[in-house]
Structure 1
Amino acid sequence: MELSGKRILLVISGGIAAYKSLDLIRRLRERGASVRPVMTRAAQEFITPLAVGALSASHVYLDLFSREDEQDVGHIRLARDTDLIVVAPASADLMAKMAHGLADDLASAVLLATDKPVLIAPAMNPKMWAAAPTQRNAKTLKADGIHFIGPMAGEMAESKEAGIGRMAEPLEIVAAAEKLLGGDNRPLAGRTAIVTSGPTHEPIDPVRYIANRSSGKQGHAIAAALAKLGADVTLVSGPVTIPDPAGVKVMHVERADEMLEAVTSRLPADIAVMVAAVADWRVAASADQKIKKQPGEAPAPLVLAENPDILKTVGHHADRPKLVIGFAAETQDVEKNGRAKLERKGADLIVANDVSPETGIMGGDRNSVKIIAPDGIETWPDLGKDEVAQRLAALIAAKLG
């Protein structure tokens, strides 16, 4: 069993979704994990410590100032004597405490004191999830290396409420925990990977920008596939409308220079897969205010400057990853242009594809790629982007031995 012998500290915060934590405990124990629960005061308004203790077969930790539990600095022991901390549900309040380093109860103190991986499953009203403070806190937590699963879209407990805010289902949380704790039986365990995904937006003025049609689906799928094989993955994502993959650290950027800075900040690494469709050009000096159309006058010319070449920078970097893979999105001469890119950028492999409008690849769910290596070209059949990602992750694992 994937979780056999693993120690999981389950933090249950307040919210109607707390009832799902009872099933989550059962599912984790079915797979061989031991579960020690920590409940916030708000969680106890929804489910009882008696029920949690019965299902976990463990003492339930409730109070930061418990004389019995704290006689040996219990919150520090809880924070360190575990393989993974799962927060399910993670309320907006607890996320805010985590993001700001507060430690005024047992749950927040444990989360601040831990040096173990943390997986959180947010659950709250859709308006609370969409609120600017919550989004800022989520961004901070992801940058801090906290892993997310959800929230999911669907019906809320409140009458006639629906949207993004549902806690992930227990089996989804278990799957995310298994990915994080897969250990030595996964071929990329112990390896670090950087993946770029999506487009970049290069501002013309506060309203307009230069971009392309990339959806980020392929890059996000590759990041998830590498994580599933055990890699410690950082995904550097341009502006996309798809959710972050579970079990992956995500850095959100907009411009090419921000993406380059994010990528190089994660070096050294073992693997770099540069999937993002980075804009080749930016406006040399973007306007501070919206450029207004003047009747009878020709539009002001845009003076363009070349963006940094992220793949070439990584391919020739002093801390160059062991394996550097680039993508070549072409509309003609796919193999010829892919080979030229392989040599020019210092990559080990180029994944080339035809993104002409009639293919539907850019923004679609399927892909047809050619793997270009110094010693030859391999053509893959038309596949779903998840399947392309899984094949590429397996190829990476094989090349790294």
Structure 2
Amino acid sequence: MLKGKVIILGITGGIAAYKGAALCSKLTQKGADVHVIMTASAKEFITELTLQSLSRNPVYSDTFDEREPSIVSHIHLADAADLVLVAPATANIIGKMAHGLADDMLSTTLLATTAPIMVAPAMNVHMYTHPAVMQNMETLVSRGVKMIEPGEGLLACGYVGKGRLEEPETIVETIERFFDQQAQEPEATIKSEPRWFGSESTENSVSEPLVNKNKLALSGKKVIVTAGGTIERIDPVRYITNDSSGKMGFAIAKVAQEMGAEVQLIAANTSAEPPSGISLERVQSAEDMYQAVLKQWETSDLVVMAAAVADYRPREVAQTKIKKKDSVLTLELVKNVDILETLGRSKKHQFLIGFAAETGNLETYAIDKLERKNCDLLAANDVTVEGAGFGVDTNAVQIYDRSGMVEQIPVQSKEEVARKLLTLAAERMGGVLH
């Protein structure tokens, strides 16, 4: 969605300016044409040369440094932009934007552009919650500016709280969702998404401006998510597994938490980092995963089996390394417990979602699996499709219930796939969506 998009990246003077380099790099790698504007304070934290090397474009910081006589730089950039992103955004630039001040290259360009604007605040927690800053942010939201909510944690100043710049990966995903929605609804007003500040209205209170009510769709629900590929031991140094990275399950766990759920993540072998702040139990074999799920099953409301569970395991596991002897080694396998089918037979109040990774005949296998295993929804993907295989950050799925395909989701980020899947589940569970 970002290929060929002209993105003006405004970097202002905070310690989080160093993340601007990673953000610039990731946007450029996605195919965006990135033009960086730095404030004077930003140059105290990071150099123009760094951003120029990453963006492959000149970096601007001085309104009066006109490089081409035929154009006025800040007007040219303002007109060319498909999106203007300010990240990190200090309290100072937010105040300037709210009051229409234009005393440097960035604020002048912001005042001149008619392109969509996104702002990712980053500052001390007390600055962030100051009534003046809150009011300024609400003023910007009322004008259609999109705010990307900062994260919580240890800040550079030593305080712990909200104010940390959102991670570059999440900011890029937010931008991709924006352009995706804009492509699907070019004439429609782009509504707020999770991690975005405010909405079309200005009803949010000053004291709680960053609440996104869509997050509450799973409020009060306990959600179990399985992820990764199970490991079945052959001997102490060898095992049977699969190509699952765990990324889809981790995305589901993260989004479920954002939607208000209490999440229990059960992960086998993974190559991706699990989301922070979520209860995680590590397991190895299919039997381990089955026992871990059973412990949480009775008290769960929603179970999403995104793990790739081995169908078979070796009948015998050697206690010492098997030595090479003959030209042929015969390995006898026996069936593992089918966790999804077992849960489907025993479910009472639980809402059960299964996954099916196929290499063809997607609909036939998906519906058959859903019915045999008594799932409420089944998400199927063809792993031979580019962007929908193992280990990548994107996916493309078809969601089925007993009546057939409910929704077809084209290739997009796994978090966005997770969001659509969980929103559909929440609606069917009676969750309140705003």
- Of 179, 182, 203, the match for 2:233: 203
Q: Tell me, in whole angstroms, the C-alpha distance in 2 between the residues paired with 1:24 and 1:237.
A: 35
- Of 362, 366, 369, the match for 2:394: 366
- Of 311, 317, 329, the match for 1:300: 329
Aligned in 2, Cα 1:30/1:325: closer, same or farther, shift over 3 Å? Answer: farther
Task: Name the residue aligned to 2:242.
Answer: 212
**Correspondence 1:16-95 to 2 at 5 A:** 25-26=125-126, 29-30=129-130, 88=154
Unpaired runs of 5+ in structure 1?
1-22, 33-85, 90-118, 122-148, 151-171, 173-177
**Pair 1:279 & 2:279 matched:** no
Q: Do the aligned residues in 1 keep the contact of 2:125 with 2:161 (CA within 8 Å)?
A: no
Q: Identity over the aligned pairs, expressed in percent?
A: 39
**Pair 1:382 & 2:411 matched:** yes
Q: Tell me, in whole angstroms, the C-alpha distance in 2 between the residues paired with 1:322 and 1:286.
A: 35
Aligned in 2, Cα 1:206/1:28: closer, same or farther, shift over 3 Å? Answer: farther
Q: Do the aligned residues in 1 keep the contact of 2:231 with 2:240 (CA within 8 Å)?
A: yes
Q: Tell me, in whole angstroms, the C-alpha distance in 2 between the residues paired with 1:332 and 1:200.
A: 23
Aligned in 2, Cα 1:185/1:367: closer, same or farther, shift over 3 Å? Answer: closer
Q: Do the aligned residues in 2 keep the contact of 1:195 with 1:219 (CA within 8 Å)?
A: yes
- SS of residue matched to 2:277: coil
**Pair 1:253 & 2:283 matched:** yes
Paired residues in the alignment total: 244
Q: Do the aligned residues in 2 keep the contact of 1:281 with 1:305 (CA within 8 Å)?
A: yes
Q: Do the aligned residues in 1 keep the contact of 2:218 with 2:426 (CA within 8 Å)?
A: yes
Q: How much does 1:334 deviate? A: 0.6
Aligned in 2, Cα 1:185/1:211: closer, same or farther, shift over 3 Å? Answer: closer
Task: Name the residue aligned to 2:423.
Answer: 394
Aligned in 2, Cα 1:185/1:372: closer, same or farther, shift over 3 Å? Answer: closer
- SS of residue matched to 1:279: coil
- SS of residue matched to 2:352: strand
- Of 340, 344, 347, the match for 1:311: 340
- SS of residue matched to 1:239: coil
Q: Tell me, in whole angstroms, the C-alpha distance in 2 between the residues paired with 1:385 and 1:309.
A: 25
Q: Tell me, in whole angstroms, the C-alpha distance in 2 between the residues paired with 1:357 and 1:396.
A: 25
Root-mean-square deviation (CA, aligned residues, Å) is: 3.4
Q: How much does 1:26 deviate? A: 2.4
Q: Tell me, in whole angstroms, the C-alpha distance in 2 between the residues paired with 1:29 and 1:331.
A: 51
- SS of residue matched to 2:380: strand
Task: Name the residue aligned to 2:274.
Answer: 244
Q: Which has the larger radius of gyration?
A: 2
Q: Tell me, in whole angstroms, the C-alpha distance in 2 between the residues paired with 1:197 and 1:120.
A: 30
Task: Name the residue aligned to 2:377.
Answer: 349
The one-letter code sitting in structure 2 at the alignment partner of 1:335 is E
Q: Deviations over 1:62-95 (max 9, x none)?
A: xxxxxxxxxxxxxxxxxxxxxxxx9859xxxxxx
Task: Name the residue aligned to 1:339.
Answer: 367
Q: Deviations over 1:43-75 (max 9, x none)?
A: xxxxxxxxxxxxxxxxxxxxxxxxxxxxxxxxx
Q: Do the aligned residues in 1 keep the contact of 2:215 with 2:258 (CA within 8 Å)?
A: no
Q: Deviations over 1:179-220 (max 9, x none)?
A: xx9899712110000011110011111111101101111110
Q: Tell me, in whole angstroms, the C-alpha distance in 2 between the residues paired with 1:293 and 1:344.
A: 41
Task: Name the residue aligned to 1:78.
Answer: none
Question: If the length of structure 2 is used for normalisation, what is the TM-score?
Answer: 0.51
Task: Name the residue aligned to 1:226.
Answer: 256
Q: Tell me, in whole angstroms, the C-alpha distance in 2 between the residues paired with 1:340 and 1:196.
A: 21
Q: Deviations over 1:297-324 (max 9, x none)?
A: 2333111111111111111225x45310
Q: Tell me, in whole angstroms, the C-alpha distance in 1 between the residues paired with 2:236 and 2:222.
A: 36
Q: Tell me, in whole angstroms, the C-alpha distance in 1 between the residues paired with 2:218 and 2:330.
A: 49
Q: Do the aligned residues in 2 keep the contact of 1:338 with 1:350 (CA within 8 Å)?
A: yes
Q: Do the aligned residues in 1 keep the contact of 2:234 with 2:318 (CA within 8 Å)?
A: yes
Aligned in 2, Cα 1:395/1:360: closer, same or farther, shift over 3 Å? Answer: closer
- Of 316, 325, 348, the match for 2:353: 325
Q: Do the aligned residues in 1 keep the contact of 2:228 with 2:249 (CA within 8 Å)?
A: yes
- SS of residue matched to 2:271: coil
Q: Deviations over 1:241-288 (max 9, x none)?
A: 222213321111111000001111012211011010111111111111
- SS of residue matched to 2:410: coil
Q: Tell me, in whole angstroms, the C-alpha distance in 2 between the residues paired with 1:365 and 1:183.
A: 26
